Amino acid sequence: MVDRFESIKLVVESLREEDIVVASYIGATKFETGALRPLPSTLLLGMLGGTVALGMGIAIARRNRRVVVITTDGDLLMELGQLSPIVKYNMDNLKIIVLDNEYYESLLTPRPTLTGDGLDLAAIARASGIANSTTATTLKELSTALDNWLDKPESMCVVVKTNRGKSNAPIRHTDPIEDKFRFIRWIEETENINIIGGEQQDKILVKDNIGNS
């Protein structure tokens, strides 16, 4: 069993500043990832079940970037079909880290996930065509997987068996809307492209905040 905070720390310390990190905005993972990598290249998704899909879209759109998805067993189990297109569409720049505590811990009524009954997410990833897939039960095993596959031009999926427990990371002072536009502006600046104009951004902010179109 690996400490969740230490596993995220090991992952983010292995990355370059220009790497894109996509992480779940649900539960302790969001606080710890946000605290350990408070960069505009970190995008936190505020929903359960779509983190890998968002990472896939970014990996296809920006094939010159390494995209690292930090997700959880509960998040991935919501949509296992996200794994199947990764190899078909040559997402060699997509790296997936699954923090598996075998529990839906952030629910109002926490309950076990199927991984606690033996469901093997790494085996599912391999069966989906991601050959570089494994389960890490120690920080050393996680470190070895990162050393072997992170810089390799092939997709990877590392399932890390982590502990449960609330986060001790500080509360974030930004919300998903601010994080989204910070990420968009970073992409625009570093890639010299225009994604969304100021007028359109204002309309979206109004719609997201007060429900007006």
Residues 191 and 93 in one domain: no
For residue 95, list its beta bridge partners.
68, 156
Print the domain residue range for 37.
4-167
Residues 127 and 53 in one domain: yes
Please state the φ and ψ torsions of residue 98, each to the nearest 5 degrees: -110, 115
pLDDT in tens, the chain (213 residues): 899 999 999 999 999 999 999 998 677 888 899 899 999 999 987 777 889 999 999 999 999 999 999 999 999 999 899 999 999 999 999 999 999 999 988 776 778 999 999 999 999 999 999 999 999 999 999 999 999 999 999 999 999 999 988 887 887 777 778 888 999 999 999 999 998 866 655 666 666 665 554
Model confidence, pTM: 0.89
Angstrom distance (rounded) from CA 142 to CA 147: 9
Domain count, the chain: 2
Residues 33 and 107 in one domain: yes
Residues 184 and 148 in one domain: no
Please state the φ and ψ torsions of residue 81, each to the nearest 5 degrees: -65, -15
Q: Do 196 and 190 meet the contact criterion of CB atoms below 8 Å apart?
A: no
Residues 155 and 184 in one domain: no
